[in-house]
Structures are given as C-alpha cells and as structure tokens.
Amino acid sequence: MAIRINGAEIAVPDDARVSLLGLLREQLHLTGTKVGCNQGACGACTVLIDGERVLSCLTLAVQADERSVTTIEGLSGAGSHKLQDAFIEHDGLQCGYCTPGQICAADAMLREIAAGVPSYITADLAAPARLTREEVRERMSGNLCRCGAHNGIVDAILQVAAERTA
Amino acid sequence: MNPLSYHRALSTADALSRAGDGAARLLGGGTNLVDLMRKGVERPSALVDVTALPGTIEATAEGGLLIGAAARNSAVAAHPLVRSQYPMLARAILAGASAQIRNMATVGGNLMQRTRCLYFQDAAASRCNKRIPGSGCEAEGGFNRYHAIIGTSPSCIATHPSDMCVALAALDARIHVAGAAGMRTIPLVDFHLLPGDRPDIETLLAPGDIILAVEIPPSPVARNSAYRKVRDRASYAFALVSVAAGLSVREGSVEDVRIAFGGIAPKPWRAFRAEAALRGGPATREAFEAAVIEELAGATPPPEAAFKVELARRTLVAVLTELSGSDR
C-alpha cells in the first residue's frame, strides 16, 4: 500500500477519510497545493495523478494507492518550471494562491491539446483541436482566480505552447 | 465524516458481495459522493471502490457502443467513435464540470449523481424531502432559479444535474445492471424516477445492484446531432437549460429526430411528445416552435424559474434550426 508522490513512496493513510489534499499538506507538508473551496468548485488543489489533472480535495488518499502523484513541488523540481517563469513574466497572478493549481492544470492541458482531445467549444469534434485563446479559456475554466489574472494566465500558457512547438 | 472502511473491488462478484450492505456506497471518481460525505448528506460506513472494474469503450456487434461503467468521462468524450458517431454525447460530456472533474468522474457515477439543489446539500440547516422524506421542501418558497419546471411534485422541484445523461436519454441508451437476481438491462429513460411523494428514491436500482455498462444502439440520426448548454457563465456551471438533439431531414421533411432536455426536470427529460409532433412533418422553424410548445405545455415552473419555459423553447428551436441546415 503506497502512493508515489513526486517520486517518493508514501504509505497510504490508515484513515480512509483523509483526502489526498490533506495527506499532501498536513502529513507531508507539501503546502504548494492549496485548499480553496474544498468542494470541487475552484481548482486550487489541482495535482496530477499518472500525468492527468485531478482535484486533490475530492480524491481520498486511498484512491491514489499504487498511482503516481505529482504536485507543484514535483513539477518545479530544483529550479522553476517554464510555466512558472511565463506566469511571472505575464503577470498571471497577484496573490498567487491559485497559481500552483493553475500551473498543474495548464501542464496537463497542454498534453491534452497535443493528444488532439476536443473541448466543448472545439468546432469540429473529428479534427484535432487547435490551441487558440478561446480554447485555453474553456479548458482552464476549472481554475478560478479571484484576483482576475486570467488574461495574463492565458498569455503565459500560449507563450509556453508556442515555445514548445517552435 | 463518519469513520469508514475502504475496499477496492477487483471483480464484479467481489463488488456484489459487498454492495448489499445497506451502509456501503459504491465509489467511482468520488467527485459527488466525497463532497456529499463531507457535507454530511451521505454517511456511509463502507466504501467499495469500483473503478478497477471494466471501463473499456468498444463497438458492439450490431454497430453500437458499449461503455464500461468505470470509464472516465474524459475518456468517453475523447473516444473517436463517440466523436464521430455520437457527437451530442461527446459535446454533452465536455459541457459538464471541468477537465479535472471529467478526468475523475466515471460513467456509472455520472448516472448516480445527486441533485445540486442547495437545500438538499445543506444537511445542517435546511429541510429537504429528498434527504429526509416528509421533512418539507425549502426550495418551493425559496431560491428556485435553478429548479425544475416539468415533472416535479409538491415534494420536490430539484433538477437532475447531469449533462451526459441528457445525451444518453436522447440516444436510447440502456443500462446494464448486475444484482442479486442476475443481470438485466434498463432503458436510460426509465432508469431515473420522477419525485412523486418519494423524492428520496431516484432510480430503479435496488440495494446491492451495480451498474456494469452503458450500451448505446447504432443511431444514424445521431451523426447529425448537437448538445447546447445555456448557463449563467460560459463554462464550469450547471445548466439553466440544455438540449441534446439529433435530426435527419429528407426533402424538407423530418425523417427522424431525437430530443432531450437537461436543467428543466428531475430527470433527463426525453421530449417524446415533441419528437412525435415533428416526425414526418415539415422541418421548419414554425414546426419546431409548435413541437416544443406542445412538449412544455404541462410546465409548472416555480416563480424564479419561469424564464426557463421560454429559454427551453428558444434553445431547442435554435438547435433544430442549426441541425436542419436551414440557417445556412
């Protein structure tokens, strides 16, 4: 019984009520992942499980048994992630509270686009989606920013996407 | 939350042997159940995780689709056959929740999700006939802008929250269920129940039943189909009104049509009356208008949701007009 968190094997809590978010913050002191609404409405707690973005507040830690979890600490590693640099450059934050969730979500979202997955606003469901400003806004709608830095967030994500395809 | 046990079922037999315990709940992605446990609405003492049971998506021999109950919503929406054969289903799933939640949520869980009526979710302070039968309904005289306009009862006016189920209702999907008496299939349009005087009983499932899969029959009309969701913000919000529709027109006449509404009823609302009115008749805006008016003739909206009658009418007419190609 173990969860791989940022590469380390972590024992699954004995109490099945412990959320993945609670395990990360209160037992492992990985406080980069934030508690926002704690009810699946804001995206601040977004982490990656097996590379896919999920909400750690609505995930029981035990559900992640035998799976691989990556948090903002794991994404940035020893330095900083390209998305973090781009968020700073484009003022994609003010208070910064939602930022770890935004970065984790954006990291997974760029892979979803690369895999050709459509969104609700993709005109042609049969063709691979193109990364437009509108697509980024729709695909990032699960991450709220109460400071209203969304325009900068979209700019930052589009810049990183452009660099990757350049 | 109450103390509880957790078990990840590795076979249907294993899950069935544990699901009959009245205090147990089956756990899919947990996006609704874990939230309701935290709010004190659900108080299971045991969770049986069914996400390791089959979640494959495959074509059936007759040309339809079989979707395992553990399939994630995002996987269904991204599947090539869903996108090409059943575009209304891909679009409906993509209209729901956020990418994070769609990655977690399962198809079986989506069928079983509970209403987002605020009074239902407020176990601490609100009366609710769905939560505690006979306790009363706060929505009736309270905040009911998001509530149902048709199929309601004096006991309950809550809406069914799913987008996916609206498309499945229009597509004549069937639910494969395993229970103590063996296997059976239930048409999706019969699966969810209207509230009547027992709004706490929401589906035809008996205690201990497990949803194994959703089967969608082949549907030529679904290739020309759409899902449109009208809501208070452009994304990540529940529907005020949504429409799933498929339409085929031949020489100006409606050859075949499928219509279901979301956001207006206690269950995914298949518009059988509108379909019957349209089939074989002219594919014109006037005919679409007349059909939806007939469908919603029995609407009894609560005060704050009265606007939904007109919104549902306009949304369906817009979708059918677009599908008929007559707006081009």
Domain chopping of chain A, boundaries: 2-75, 82-165
Task: Provide ipTM, 2 decimals.
Answer: 0.98
Mean pLDDT, residues A76-91 taken together: 95
How far apart are the CA of B100 and the nearest CA of chain A, in angstroms?
4
- Chain B's closest residue to A139, CA to CA, is B99
Contact map slice: A 70-99 vs B, CB within 8 A: none
Q: Does residue A108 belong to the interface with chain B, where contact is any CB pair within 8 Å?
A: yes
Cα separation, B324 vs B157, whole angstroms: 33
How far apart are the CA of B298 and the nearest CA of chain A, in angstroms?
31
Burial of A163 (C-beta count, 10 Å sphere; 0-12/13-18/19+): exposed
Three-state secondary structure of B290-325 = HHHHHHCCCCCCCHHHCHHHHHHHHHHHHHHHHHHC
Q: Which of B18-22, B213-217, B274-278 has the lowest mean pLDDT?
A: B18-22
Task: Could you please state the CATH topology (level 3) that the domain comprising A82-165 is classified under.
Answer: DNA polymerase; domain 1 (1.10.150)
- Chain A's closest residue to B102, CA to CA, is A54
Q: Does residue A2 belong to the interface with chain B, where contact is any CB pair within 8 Å?
A: no
Architecture of domain A2-75: Roll (3.10)
pLDDT of residue B327: 53
* CB nearest A58 (choices: B31, B94, B99): B31
Which residues from chain A sit within 8 angstroms of residue B1, using beta carbons?
17
pLDDT category, B322, cuts 50, 70, 90? very high
Asked whether the predicted pLDDT for residue A140 surpasses 70, the reply is: yes
pLDDT category, B328, cuts 50, 70, 90? very low
Cβ–Cβ pairs < 8 A, chains A and B: 96
Residue bearing the bigger pLDDT, B223 or B22 = B223
Contact A63 B30 (CB under 8 A): yes
- Chain B's closest residue to A45, CA to CA, is B100
Q: Does residue A67 belong to the interface with chain B, where contact is any CB pair within 8 Å?
A: no
CATH numbers and ranges of domains, chain B: 5-51 (3.30.43.10), 225-324 (3.30.390.50)
Among candidates B237, B263, B241, which has minimal Cα distance to B98?
B237
Q: Does residue A35 belong to the interface with chain B, where contact is any CB pair within 8 Å?
A: no
* CB nearest B99 (choices: A16, A53, A115): A53
Q: If you search the block for the tokens 């959703």, which residue do you land on?
A: B214
Asked whether the predicted pLDDT for residue A24 surpasses 80, the reply is: yes
pLDDT of residue B194: 98
Q: Which of A19-28, A126-135, B88-97, B250-259 has the lowest mean pLDDT?
A: A126-135
Asked whether the predicted pLDDT for residue A166 surpasses 80, the reply is: no
pLDDT of residue A97: 98
Contact B94 A119 (CB under 8 A): yes
* CB nearest A40 (choices: B8, B31, B99): B31
pLDDT of residue A123: 95
Cα separation, B174 vs B177, whole angstroms: 10
Cα separation, B173 vs B110, whole angstroms: 14
Mean pLDDT for chain A overall: 96
How far apart are the CA of A26 and the nearest CA of chain B, in angstroms?
18
pLDDT category, B2, cuts 50, 70, 90? confident
Tens digit of each residue's pLDDT (9 = 90 or more) over B73-99: 999 999 999 999 999 999 999 999 999
Tens digit of each residue's pLDDT (9 = 90 or more) over B132-181: 999 999 999 999 999 999 999 999 999 999 999 999 999 999 999 999 88
Cα separation, A123 vs B117, whole angstroms: 32
Structure tokens at A151: 């325009």
How far apart are the CA of A49 and the nearest CA of chain B, in angstroms?
10
* CB nearest B91 (choices: A109, A125, A137): A125
Contact B47 A16 (CB under 8 A): yes
pLDDT category, B20, cuts 50, 70, 90? confident
Chain B positions contacting chain A at CB under 8 Å are 1, 3-6, 8, 27, 29-31, 34-35, 38-39, 47, 49, 51, 74, 77-78, 83-84, 87, 90-91, 94-95, 97-101, 103-104, 229, 234-236
Asked whether the predicted pLDDT for residue A3 surpasses 60, the reply is: yes
pLDDT category, A78, cuts 50, 70, 90? confident
Which residues from chain A sit within 8 angstroms of residue B6, using beta carbons?
16, 60, 62
Question: What is the percent of chain B with per-residue pLDDT over 70, rounded to a whole number?
Answer: 99
Structure tokens at B169: 């209702």
Structure tokens at A109: 């979202």
b/e B80-111 (16+ beta carbons within 10 angstroms → b): ebbbebbbbbbbbbbbbbbbbbbbbbbbbbbb
Cα separation, A33 vs A97, whole angstroms: 9
Which residues from chain B sit within 8 angstroms of residue A60, using beta carbons?
6, 27, 30, 34, 47
